[in-house]
Amino acid sequence: MTALLCEINYGNEIFTYQIIFSRRKTLAIIIHPDQTILVKAPMNSNLNKIQQKVNRKAVWIKNKIQYFEQFRPRTPLRQYVGGETHLYLGKPYRLKLFSGEKNHVSLQEDFLHVICKESLEASNVKKNLENWYRKQAKALFDKLMAHCWQQFNSSQEKLPKLSVRK
């Protein structure tokens, strides 16, 4: 299998795509969710013909890329510093960081108060916040599971075990 990198101009945008030659009979254009473009072509294909076919599909390629764009993460990488916004149950909360005797996280109005026993380094804040999120998820899921379990007429009286994974 041989691979080539090419570009397509559409309007004021340039899309880079990779051509892979393989043992196949038809040309395939694949747009991945990470917005990479892959063109699979038969071994004996003419490069100009491939590029012409890709150019004819430029509108379709643009539409697919726009479609996948809506699923890209909108939040920047977390820094875990005071004032940074984090979501909890769909609502934004700002972080307030404190030093204390034990690790603790609490919701107070529009703030997530994070108390770290050790330093207020991003890694410690992240660890404490993730543990808190996990505990909150477990409590909420247990409550929802108990509510849903009542709806079933089951011979099993015991609630199934629920585990929250990372």
Question: Cα(111)–Cα(109) distance, rounded to whole angstroms?
Answer: 6
Cα separation values, 63 from 53, 70, 119, Å? 16, 11, 48
pLDDT at site 156: 67
Residues 11-23 have a mean pLDDT of 92
> pLDDT tens digits, residue range 67-110?
998 888 777 788 999 999 999 998 999 999 999 999 999 999 99
Residues 28-33 have a mean pLDDT of 94
The label of the residue with tokens 């929802």 reads: 144
Supply the pTM of this predicted model.
0.57
pLDDT of 22 higher than 80:
yes
User: Residue 81: which of 130, 131, 120, 119 has the closest Cα?
Assistant: 120
pLDDT of 166 higher than 80:
no
> pLDDT tens digits, residue range 102-161?
999 999 999 999 999 988 999 999 999 999 999 999 999 999 988 888 887 666 677 888
pLDDT at site 132: 96
Cα separation values, 111 from 78, 87, 92, Å? 16, 10, 9
Beta-strand relationship, 85-88 and 91-99 = antiparallel
Task: Supply 84's token pair.
Answer: 């940074």
